[in-house]
Amino acid sequence: MITYEELFIGGEWTTPSSTELLDIRSPHDNAVIGRAAQALPADVDRAVAAARKAFDEGPWPHTSPAERIAVVRKLAGLREKRAEEIAALISAENGSALWFTKAGQPGLTRQANAYLKAAGEFGWEETLAPSDPAAPFRSVVRREAIGVVAAIIPWNSPFSSASAKIIPALLAGNTVVLKVSPENTLSMNLLAELLAEAGLPEGVISVLPADRETSEYLVKHSGVDKIAFTGSTRAGRRIASLAGEQLKRVSLELGGKSAMIILPDADLGAAIQGVKFGSLLNNAESCIAQTRILAPRSRYEEVVAGLKELVESLGVGDPADDRTFIGPMIRPGQQQRVLDYIRLGVEEGARLVTGGPEVPAGLEKGNYVTPTLFADVDNSMRIAQEEIFGPVLVVIAYDDEADAVRIANDSEYGLSGGVWSADPAHALAVARRVRTGTITVNGAPIGFDGPFGGFKASGLGREYGTVGLGTYTEYKTITVPEAK
């Protein structure tokens, strides 16, 4: 069993304000797999004070981009060396299939490399010629660090979410307080160990596992200049309102209820596989999961039959077993939430094709849910409009292409989506009409060079690449007179 009695504050392991340790439990059988200290407001005060001092008085914001790139590159290398350990810890904490957490490690490398490339090409300082050639001045435009960043991440993909925020924040010269979910304390404390090795100056970064109340204390803290949040839309709205009161910079990557449009000419076998990997990876505890499947009426029952076969073929069980595709939900409360939505779908009149609210036999000790498929779903039903965050798919019929686009857009969310067609150019044309921040054609993977984020209630701002790096900077314009 892993035990952490200290908190990582300002680059050092320190005694927490409370000696009480939280039991970290396996979602597979709810056995205790670790114990760890949790942050309270007093610890937030210390972390923010350290970050504030490091930004206002320390060397980090004044280092060159090349120096910051070197530190982040070292951090990425340290992570790669412990990739197997990281994958195992995330699987043990989250219940994600171990093969999936292992397969995700190269993605973390690509994510870091995209930010490093962006930082190397970024316009940190540019001189602009005046639009009037006779003007007796020129403008020097700088991109400078914002200050102290409160980065708040969810539990479902901790290393990816953490990297998406701390890497660009550090590359831009900010200092960071990373607030992580209690469920991820073990893996995120491993990240803290890597940060300690990377060579960051004192105070530049802290990693605090904490509950929602302490998270809100961090958001409201007067020493914080920017909030970068990934999580539910409900929490995002609360954070945005608090940030607005203090005019803090804020970026929000929030929930989704993404649609996958299967066009009439699509290769159905490929599209069904696309559902497997685009809708159900990571136990479908994913904001980008495409859980609304839009099928043409001409092939509707064929799509439903194919999805039924897929869903019933998925291995459910111990995440450490290579045969497992769907592991347990992160915690009992999330399991109950998903089961309640399945019951709601039946009450709403949807056709239960396979699955249901019964926990899989032999897995009662864990937080398991039977993968479930609903057909004859109207897009107005709650199971089609609300983010379930679990392995529940709904199939919605559409009449024609315009109807498919209308249904896809009939959502408060706009984070992800997909289009399948035998004609990729046609699929691209349809994708352009869907109001969502990221959309894939025929299952193409999401890259890290382009911006990632959401329309509508799916968030504000963007992550990844040059655009994501830019959200951690402020513009400064210096007007300089021309020499006479």
Q: Residue 483: pLDDT above 90?
A: no
How distant is the alpha carbon of residue 334 from its chain centre?
A: 17
pLDDT band at 134 (very low <50, low <70, confident <90, very high): confident
Round to whole Å and give the CA distance between 377 and 407: 12
As beta bridge partners, residue 176 has 149, 205
Average pLDDT score over residue span 41-56: 98
Longest dimension (CA), the chain: 85
Q: What is the DSSP string of 300-332?
A: HHHHHHHHHHHHHHS-BS-TTSTT-SB---SSH
Residue 132's pLDDT is what? Answer: 85
Residues of the chain with CATH 3.40.605.10: 2-254+458-478
Q: Residue 484: pLDDT above 70?
A: no
Phi, psi of 310 (to 5 degrees): -65, -55
Q: How many Cβ atoms sit within 10 Å of the Cβ of residue 53?
A: 16
Average pLDDT score over residue span 456-470: 97
Round to whole Å and give the CA distance between 336 and 343: 11
Residues of the chain with CATH 3.40.309.10: 259-455
Residue 105's pLDDT is what? Answer: 97
pLDDT band at 136 (very low <50, low <70, confident <90, very high): confident
User: Do residues 139 and 477 lie in contact, with contact meaning Cβ atoms separated by under 8 Å?
Assistant: yes
- Which amino acid type is present at position 468? G
Round to whole Å and give the CA distance between 214 and 188: 17
Round to whole Å and give the CA distance between 400 and 438: 23
- Start-to-end CA distance of the chain, whole Å, equals 72
Average pLDDT score over residue span 38-47: 98
Q: What is each CA distance from 56 to 161, 198, 378, in whole angstroms? A: 27, 21, 55
Helices 65-81 and 105-121 cross at an angle (nearest 10°) of 170
Average pLDDT score over residue span 136-151: 96
User: Do residues 338 and 388 lie in contact, with contact meaning Cβ atoms separated by under 8 Å?
Assistant: yes
Average pLDDT score over residue span 396-404: 98
Phi, psi of 175 (to 5 degrees): -105, 155
Round to whole Å and give the CA distance between 207 and 8: 5
Q: What is the pLDDT of residues 253-265, one digit of tens each?
A: 999 999 999 999 9
2-254+458-478 adopts what CATH topology? Aldehyde Dehydrogenase; Chain A, domain 1 (3.40.605)
Average pLDDT score over residue span 75-97: 98
Q: Residue 278: pLDDT above 70?
A: yes
pLDDT band at 23 (very low <50, low <70, confident <90, very high): very high
- Long-range Cβ contacts of 101-106 (<8 Å, 24+ apart): 104/157, 104/159, 104/160, 105/80
Buried b (16+ CB within 10 A) or exposed e, 7-35: bbbbbeebebbeeebbebbbbbeeeebbb
Round to whole Å and give the CA distance between 261 and 199: 47
Alpha helices, H only, 314-423? 332-347, 382-385, 401-409
Q: What is the pLDDT of residues 346-376, one digit of tens each?
A: 999 999 999 999 999 999 999 999 999 999 9
Name which of 16-30, 126-140, 313-327 the model is least confident about.
Answer: 126-140
Residue 482's pLDDT is what? Answer: 82
Q: Residue 135: pLDDT above 90?
A: no
CATH superfamily of 259-455: Aldehyde Dehydrogenase; Chain A, domain 2 (3.40.309.10)
Helices then strands (H, E): number in the chain? 16, 23
Phi, psi of 420 (to 5 degrees): -120, 130
Q: What is the DSSP string of 350-369?
A: -EEEE--SSPPTT-TTTT--
Sign of CA dihedral 178, 171, 148, 141: negative
Structure tokens that stand for 287 in this block = 């904001």
Closest CA to 33 of 183, 138, 173: 183
Q: Give the containing element (helix H, strand E) for 128.
A: strand 125-128
Round to whole Å and give the CA distance between 45 and 43: 5
Round to whole Å and give the CA distance between 263 and 176: 45
Residue 133's pLDDT is what? Answer: 82
Q: What is the DSSP string of 32-91?
A: EEEEEE---HHHHHHHHHHHHHHHHTSSGGGS-HHHHHHHHHHHHHHHHHTHHHHHHHHH
Buried b (16+ CB within 10 A) or exposed e, 247-264: ebbbbbbbbbbbbbbbbe
User: Do residues 172 and 142 lie in contact, with contact meaning Cβ atoms separated by under 8 Å?
Assistant: no
Average pLDDT score over residue span 123-131: 92
Average pLDDT, the chain: 97
Residue 131's pLDDT is what? Answer: 86
**10 SS3 class:** coil
Round to whole Å and give the CA distance between 124 and 135: 24
Q: Which residues are catalytic?
A: 253, 287
* Residue showing tokens 């709205």: 237
